[in-house]
Amino acid sequence: MAKLKGWNPEIKRQKILDAAVEILNQKEYYKSPISEIARKAGVAKGTIYLYFKSKEELYFSIIFMLLDKVRDMADEIQKKSISANQKLLLFLKKHSDFIGRYRNIFLTVRQNLKPEEKKCQHEMHLKFGELLNIIVKIIDEGIKKGEFKNYPSSSLAMLYLSFMFVNMHQKVDMHNKNKMMQIEITPQFIWNVFLRGIAK
């Protein structure tokens, strides 16, 4: 990366990402030109390509940044002085609100971009693994304190995240005309099913 004068490169990169988030959260992918992102960030269009090889790379960088925020959210909750039960429910609710806040970004990227590059897939797997490890810690804590049954914590964490992703897809597709996608699946409902099951 070329060294830029008068401004910390990391600050400028973050400013570009923040501008792209704001625009992408309001417009469709093909209606969000790099030139508009550059104007919003207060940089020249060519400057963006010093940090990101393409528009696709910029947008995947946004997704990675948002996934980091989700991980940090989970990590912060994991350190709270509340029960493991409360931690998992709180994370479900906060994650649902987070997806709702950035819904258009997740929808736009999912509709228009395919993470086919191995580097992109590898990064996605790493970030999912980081989140999974935090959820495992919370579940281990709950098992030790007698809040949860002694099932394998990694399996429970995967099941929990699977439920969470159902809520995520429903939030992203909330305006889909397909009746199946309009069925409301709230964090509380997911938690009740996950914690208590469906048996009487």
- Quick: pLDDT tens for 74-105: 999 999 999 999 999 999 999 999 998 998 88
Q: Is the pLDDT of residue 70 over 90?
A: yes
Q: Is the pLDDT of residue 3 over 50?
A: no
| pLDDT on residue 172 | 72
* Separation of alpha carbons 99 and 20, rounded Å: 17
* Separation of alpha carbons 165 and 160, rounded Å: 9
* Separation of alpha carbons 85 and 32, rounded Å: 42
| C-beta of residue 134 within 8 angstroms of C-beta of residue 54 | no
Query: What DSSP string runs through 18-37?
Result: HHHHHHHTTS-GGG--HHHH
Angle at 8 between CA 63 and CA 61, to 5 degrees: 10
Q: Is the pLDDT of residue 184 over 90?
A: no
Backbone angles phi, psi at 33, to 5 degrees: -70, 155
Domains of the chain: 1-52 (1.10.10.60), 55-196 (1.10.357.10)
| C-beta of residue 139 within 8 angstroms of C-beta of residue 156 | yes
Backbone angles phi, psi at 115, to 5 degrees: -75, 70
Report pTM.
0.82
| pLDDT on residue 44 | 92
| pLDDT on residue 37 | 93
